[in-house]
Amino acid sequence: MNTKILVLGGGTGGTLVANLLAKKLKGAADITLVSALSRHLYQPGWLYVPFGWQDPRTLSRSLKSLLNKRINLEIGKAAALNPDTQIVTLEDGSALGYDYLVLATGSRVTPEDVPGLAEGGYHFYTEEAAWRLHAALEEFQGGKIVVGVGGLPHKCPVAPLEFTFLLDEYLTRRGIREQSEIVYTYPINRVFSIESVADVAAPLLEERKVRAETFFNLESVDPHKKMAYSLEGTELPYDLLVMIPPHRGAKFLENNPVADAQGWVKTERETLQVKGYPHIYALGDTTDLPISKAGSTAHFEAPVIAERIAASLEGRQPDPKHATYDGKVMCFLEAGYNKASILNFDYNTPPTPPAPNAFIHYEKMAFNKAYWYLVPTGML
């Protein structure tokens, strides 16, 4: 009987690791990918939807079309994991056993964790929310917009900054920037968690006349008074609130032996094995690693997992060049007005982002289109 490899999650990490395993093992194992959706979503594109600069219909493809023909696709939602019996139960009651499990279950937004946020705020971190924010911005005719981060960690850490820069451009294009005030909030004492990125972003915010409100840890929102309150005692009135909600891991993983109370999976930082369970691996947003929750993170992690599982099945030592994750991440940072910067970093080397320029912006635009052909399929 073939070894059973089960991959939970049809996002960048799950799709890529399944395809890499299928190529490496060439039928020597039964690979099943479980996804809640039959579509694969390109989440970075949601940043542009609120401004009307991206058709949301172009941001998804059939998941099956991206998978190697050797992979079994199961559409369903995971409801429970028993890591001791090595069984995953789906919401429809079916049970799937495994010899190796890859958790690529991502993260989810939980606005309900902040009183009033779901009713009083907007965001662009889901397909539906991005479209809802588009409608709100179309109706906006001037006033005070508060943009901020409602909890750490959250996926795509630079996206709130990018949204703020693009919002300035959008309002300018519409001719209502002078009638609008933008306030950007962040939970710590600078505008981004990584100091070198904050050093680039802060002057840009000042140049665009965006007021930065740091040490703003969102406590509650009053949607009737249109007020956002911080734990530090700051009160911010708004006409439009764009606040990135708190995030958690998958609901079924909360308080599971493999995860913490928030659902973040306890992951070894170099091997990506789940702590205490050598036959379970995790990658992407779902891990508890001190690294960005971004598609590129999963992109660099997936080959490590594929190599380690393949080596184990083939009874050999993993290739040291491909079996250790060093924390590598690459993120674009849109600065508006057809300019962008780029962040390259790992566990030991902080990013040194260059000044935003047109070349990097168009590089990102090209990558957005090439993603489908290069990343989830394992071509890049």
Domain 3-107+249-328 and domain 109-246 have a common topology: yes
CB 246 within 8 A of CB 114: yes
Q: Which fold has domain 109-246?
A: FAD/NAD(P)-binding domain (3.50.50)
pLDDT value at 9 more than 80: yes
Residue 99 CB partners (closer than 8 Å, separation 6+): 3, 4, 5, 86, 279
Structure pTM? 0.96
Q: What are the sequence ranges of the domains in the chain?
A: 3-107+249-328, 109-246
Give residue-wise pLDDT tens across range 143-202.
Answer: 999 999 999 999 999 999 999 999 999 999 999 999 999 999 999 999 999 999 999 999
Which CATH number is 3-107+249-328's, of 3.50.50.60, 3.40.50.720, 3.20.140.10, 3.20.20.10?
A: 3.50.50.60
Q: Decide the pairing of beta strands 60-62 and 39-41.
A: antiparallel
- Dist. CA 186–CA 192, nearest whole Å: 7
Give residue-wise pLDDT tens across range 73-114.
Answer: 999 999 999 999 999 999 999 999 999 999 999 999 999 999
Mean pLDDT of 291-312: 97
Positive or negative: CA dihedral 306, 312, 316, 320: positive
Supply the DSSP string of 315-333, one letter for each residue.
TSPPPTTTS-----EEEEE
Mean pLDDT of 329-357: 97
Bond from prior residue into 376 cis (ω within 30 degrees of 0): no
- Dist. CA 109–CA 262, nearest whole Å: 12
Mean pLDDT of 120-141: 97
Please tell me the predicted confidence (pLDDT) of residue 379: 80
Give residue-wise pLDDT tens across range 37-68.
Answer: 999 999 999 999 999 999 999 999 999 999 99
- Dist. CA 159–CA 309, nearest whole Å: 33
pLDDT value at 1 more than 90: no
Give residue-wise pLDDT tens across range 205-245.
Answer: 999 999 999 999 999 999 999 999 999 999 999 999 999 99
